[in-house]
A and B are shown apart, each in its own frame.
Chain A
Amino acid sequence: MKTISQAVKTYKSKTIKPVWCPGCGDYGVLAALDKTFKALEFKPEDIAIVSGIGCSGRFSHYFNSYSLHGTHGRALPTATGLKTVRPDLHVVTIGGDGDGLSIGGGHIAHAARKNVDLTYIILDNNVYGMTKGQSSPTTPLEYKTKTAPYGVYEEALNPIAMFLAYNIGYIARTTSTDSKGLLSILTEAIQHKGFSMVYVMSPCVTYSVLPYAKLKDIVAPLPEDHDTSDKMSAFKYAYSDEHMYTGVFYKEEKSCLNERLQEVFNIAKISKTTSEIMAEFK
């Protein structure tokens, strides 16, 4: 048995060091996730990290876990398959605003419907960083990027409102600089039964669409009287023009995919052997 005193480094990859730009918000999230695993006393061999493509995609490289770095936009369905057959593993999926909301955006609604028991961390830097500065689904209208040199001609998504509409059972937003907030939200999200969404504003220092200083100005914690079971209140704060609210927007306990599939076994009732099944086709 491994002990409670497992050091944070137990969770870090033994050979691979992060390659993000100095000052990248992702470092803060990486450190927080290491701390979260330590706080939850997970064994590294029971952790599975699944990521897609982009700066966020590299996340899976930096853990001493079972890690799968797949293709662009497909981390969520890949992780869904993994968690379905291995409910015993702690599955964390990571994507960015491009990987998660653009190419892979269609998968979120369905992972939410399945309520697959995993945590999805989206790191939003409002830009395609790894490919060097193109527009992402959260780049603001009229902002000039390499693929919109005269200004972005699309409206930015409102991801939190979208997640609320998808009926995701745990939705929180925080920033990469708020290490305390990250630790508490990640801990709660990973322990949450079902699909949990942790949305992290993680500024890009190289293509600085949302610089740290500006982020600090617009961010505000959700008011203390916000009731996390009140979806309409959550919508109201998600749509706020005044602030970018952080904290837990919404929480709801419901049955998760593995429980529902277990229910399938109960309905099917009889367990059979392969030969018994084939006999049904006589």
Chain B
Amino acid sequence: MGKIGTHKLKSKIDFIIRVAGEGGEGVMSCGELFAKAVARTSYHVFTFITYPTEMKGGYAMTQIRIKDITIYSMGSFVDCLVAFNQEAYDKSIPYLKEGGILIYDPEFAKIDESKKVIKYPIPFSKIAVDTIGRPLGKNVVVLGILSHIYGLEHPGLEKLIDDRYGSKGEKVVEGNIKALKAGADAAAKIGVITVMDLSKSEPAAEDYMFISGNQAVALGAIAAGCRFSAGYPLTPATSIFETLSKYLPLVGGRTIQMEDEIAAISAIIGASFGGEKVITPTSGPGIQLMAEQLSLASMLELPIVVVDVQRGGPSTGLPTKTEQGDVKFAVYGAAGESPRIILAPTNVEDTFYQTIRAFNLAEKYQMPVILLTDQSIGYRKATVKMPDFAKIFMVDKYDRKAKVKIPNAEHIDLVQRQIPTEEELKDYKRYRDTKTGISPIARPGTPDGQYLATGLEHDEYGKTNQGPENHLKMSKKRFRKLEEVSKAFEKNPMETYGDPNVRIGIMGWGSTEGAIREARYLAELQGIKIRHLHPHTISPLPERQISKFLHRLKHLIIVEENLTGQFSHFIKAKFGVNPIEVHKCEGMPFTSDEIYNAIMKVARIADEDNITSS
């Protein structure tokens, strides 16, 4: 194993590679093929993608991180940069570590010769033209160069090329295989270093999937028993609906593309009324349109799951970039007060299990559950441990007291909707005002279960009643369910990490978890210990857990990818604290370095406080 200049490797493997170019040049497919090949080894892989909104042109890059242990973020600086053109070079070079490897096409990029990096000019565009007669194969030439640097065997890569391009015909596959070899040969010829030999790595010991966050939502939905989805294409959520459209029919499910997001959520409400587990995926601009129907689902007490893969806003904003800007809308975007549950997954694997959890919560508490992911989770790919399919348990539909565990790879409970007993059907009250607020739902087709589900205020039978007492009683009934959710959340294990006795705490939500975790590790290396709380349930919040976390803290940092600190507002309002807010509103996720720097600043303030008080 070689060294990369002054950047010495520690005992563990941690490589970050960035392939940067122009949209339409095959940057994504090059990165994906490379990552897929690595995913088949015992190493963990994590990819991050950013691409322009336009179909062709504009800066696009894919970043791949390879590690021997779980990966939490895309990393801050890269070990190896491949630049397809000038813009890609200019935008990416600040992120290349000193001593890192720079591979560029001298025909399309002029570089700063004074940079202390290992430079390999390789004319990959020309190589592609010479080999297969077209410049478009250059991404596969680059794949060949990377295979040389990281010791990836060609038979495996050729198989992946065949899988990907097979549908385009034998000629295309052959051309790409030639380009792959030409790239590797060119690298060998000019003596490009080999930094590791992945071909010597053991194959993955356990079963792993290599999936994006969006695929994790689709697969999680299928695993949860969802059999209907209605959708409308919206970047960056579209691939969820595409994946569902491909795979749901294979398990007997159905998907229909609707004319807009309002129609999509309406269709899933209708299907949920019909007794099916349902989902619609969208992003910010879509969830805005869905607001009225979210309230309807709260009022009809029908289980629905809505996924918001957040992107930069407001309005059309930054369709292909990430932001945590929809949390307030998700919680409060409604006319009137309508109970709903908001979950925020933290990474790709977590997205799979939180999606299953979203269905469990929706079916149990009969209300909309909004799953708040974002572009950075949705488009990133990571290795995800395959769940144990022998450990999936159905919760009985008549069991009103079932304890439902948070799903994980070792244990998955699947909630089935409560239905009325024969006794209850004798005088069926669909909206019976029970202790928990939860009242069984009759499935259409059940004799004597007929009822009216109306968006008008109604009594326990469903008959409209707008009297003052009834409105109060039924509002309380609907919100009692949310109190039950809250109670259940408090019983979950604390979502805190780090030393419980320290005075500096950090909070975040959603996709920032990995970067915060890595920043905490970095700080610990410097002797700075902090506590980290990262609730998965944004609404209702686990209030007692948060109080407990805040109790001993002197300094609280809240990290968010937006401008105004929306989540922070909740914490400030509910707990009367005055946090140090760290915001990033650039369309890009936090790196661990950025959070680490914030932690160190606060640590210095804390240190000064200690000096003045002593």
Which A residues fall within an 8 A CB radius of B?
Answer: 13, 15-16, 43-46, 48, 50, 60-61, 64-71, 74, 77-86, 88-89, 106-107, 109-110, 114, 257, 261, 264-265, 268, 270-275, 277-279, 281-282
The contact sample of 6 A-B pairs, CB cut-off 8 A, is A61-B463, A67-B452, A70-B266, A70-B296, A74-B262, A85-B275
| B270 adjacent to A81 (CB under 8 Å) | yes
Contacts between the two chains (Cβ within 8 Å), count: 185
| B207 adjacent to A282 (CB under 8 Å) | yes
CA distance A74 to B264 in the complex (A): 10
Contact of B450 among A66, A70, A265, A272 (CB under 8 A): A66
Report B245-304 residues with CB < 8 Å from chain A CB: 247, 249-252, 254, 256, 258-260, 262-264, 266-276, 278, 292-293, 296, 300
Q: Say yes or no for B389: interface residue by CB 8 A criterion.
A: yes
CA distance A89 to B268 in the complex (A): 16
Q: Say yes or no for B464: interface residue by CB 8 A criterion.
A: yes
What chain B residues lie within 8 Å of A274 (beta carbons)?
222-223, 251, 389
Q: Say yes or no for B37: interface residue by CB 8 A criterion.
A: no
Contact A82 to B445, CB < 8 A, known contacts A15-B461, A67-B451, A268-B249: no
| B445 adjacent to A45 (CB under 8 Å) | yes
CA distance A34 to B355 in the complex (A): 43
CA distance A82 to B278 in the complex (A): 11
Q: A81-B269, A84-B228 are in contact. List 7 more A-B contacts (CB 8 A).
A: A15-B461, A66-B449, A69-B453, A84-B267, A277-B219, A278-B223, A281-B210
| B453 adjacent to A68 (CB under 8 Å) | yes
Tell me which of B252, B292, B450 has the highest count of chain A C-beta atoms within 10 A of its own C-beta: B450
Report B136-157 residues with CB < 8 Å from chain A CB: none
Contact A78 to B270, CB < 8 A, known contacts A45-B449, A265-B252, A268-B249: yes
Q: Say yes or no for B182: interface residue by CB 8 A criterion.
A: no
Residue of B at shortest CB range from A273? B251
Q: Say yes or no for B386: interface residue by CB 8 A criterion.
A: yes
Contact of A66 among B256, B444, B456 (CB under 8 A): B444
Shortest CB–CB separation between residue A50 and chain B, in angstroms? 7
CA distance A69 to B456 in the complex (A): 8
What chain A residues lie within 8 Å of B461 (beta carbons)?
15
What chain B residues lie within 8 Å of A107 (beta carbons)?
259, 263
CA distance A106 to B289 in the complex (A): 15
What chain A residues lie within 8 Å of B387 (beta carbons)?
278
Residue of A at shortest CB range from B208? A282
Give me the 8 closest cross-chain CB pairs, A-B, nearest first.
Answer: A81-B267, A81-B270, A82-B270, A77-B263, A77-B266, A69-B454, A78-B270, A81-B271
CA distance A275 to B445 in the complex (A): 31
CA distance A67 to B461 in the complex (A): 12
CA distance A278 to B276 in the complex (A): 22
What chain A residues lie within 8 Å of B267 (beta carbons)?
77-78, 80-81, 84
| B274 adjacent to A89 (CB under 8 Å) | yes
Report B191-235 residues with CB < 8 Å from chain A CB: 207-211, 215, 219, 222-223, 227-228, 230
Contact A70 to B452, CB < 8 A, known contacts A46-B445, A85-B275, A114-B256: no
| B454 adjacent to A61 (CB under 8 Å) | yes
CA distance A71 to B262 in the complex (A): 11
What chain B residues lie within 8 Å of A79 (beta carbons)?
270
Shortest CB–CB separation between residue B471 and chain A, in angstroms? 17
What chain A residues lie within 8 Å of B258 (beta carbons)?
77, 80, 110
| B266 adjacent to A272 (CB under 8 Å) | no
CA distance A106 to B252 in the complex (A): 30
Q: Say yes or no for B455: interface residue by CB 8 A criterion.
A: yes
Shortest CB–CB separation between residue A170 and chain B, in angstroms? 21
| B446 adjacent to A45 (CB under 8 Å) | yes
What chain B residues lie within 8 Å of A86 (beta carbons)?
271, 274-276, 444-445
Contact A61 to B386, CB < 8 A, known contacts A69-B456, A88-B445, A282-B207: no
Shortest CB–CB separation between residue A132 and chain B, in angstroms? 18
Shortest CB–CB separation between residue B327 and chain A, in angstroms? 24
Contact A70 to B252, CB < 8 A, known contacts A45-B449, A281-B210: no
Shortest CB–CB separation between residue A66 and chain B, in angstroms? 4
Contact of A81 among B209, B230, B249, B300 (CB under 8 A): B230
| A89 adjacent to B445 (CB under 8 Å) | yes
CA distance A89 to B449 in the complex (A): 14
Q: Can you list, as one digit per residue, whether each of B435-449 has a CB less than 8 Å from chain A (1) or not (0)?
A: 000000010111111
What chain A residues lie within 8 Å of B271 (beta carbons)?
81-82, 84-86
| B228 adjacent to A71 (CB under 8 Å) | no
| B444 adjacent to A15 (CB under 8 Å) | no
Residue of B at shortest CB range from A269? B250
Contact A61 to B452, CB < 8 A, known contacts A15-B461, A81-B266: yes
Contact A110 to B292, CB < 8 A, known contacts A45-B450, A69-B455: no
Contact A110 to B263, CB < 8 A, known contacts A43-B447, A85-B271, A273-B251: yes
| B259 adjacent to A110 (CB under 8 Å) | yes
| A106 adjacent to B259 (CB under 8 Å) | yes
CA distance A89 to B448 in the complex (A): 15
| B464 adjacent to A61 (CB under 8 Å) | yes
Shortest CB–CB separation between residue B310 and chain A, in angstroms? 24
What chain A residues lie within 8 Å of B266 (beta carbons)?
70-71, 74, 77-78, 80-81
CA distance A114 to B268 in the complex (A): 16
Q: Can you list, as one digit per residue, whether each of B338-366 has a CB less than 8 Å from chain A (1) or not (0)?
A: 00000000000000000000000000000
Contact A275 to B209, CB < 8 A, known contacts A68-B270, A68-B273: no
Q: Can you list, as one digit per residue, whether each of B367-385 has a CB less than 8 Å from chain A (1) or not (0)?
A: 0000000000000000000
Residue of B at shortest CB range from A44? B450
CA distance A241 to B87 in the complex (A): 65
| B452 adjacent to A85 (CB under 8 Å) | no
CA distance A61 to B210 in the complex (A): 50
Contact of B263 among A74, A257, A265 (CB under 8 A): A74
CA distance A256 to B444 in the complex (A): 21
CA distance A272 to B222 in the complex (A): 11
| B292 adjacent to A71 (CB under 8 Å) | yes
CA distance A89 to B271 in the complex (A): 12
Residue of B at shortest CB range from A60? B452
What chain B residues lie within 8 Å of A80 (beta carbons)?
256, 258, 263, 266-267, 270
| B227 adjacent to A85 (CB under 8 Å) | yes
Tell me which of B272, B274, B300, B387 has the highest count of chain A C-beta atoms within 10 A of its own C-beta: B274
What chain B residues lie within 8 Å of A64 (beta carbons)?
450
Residue of B at shortest CB range from A91? B270
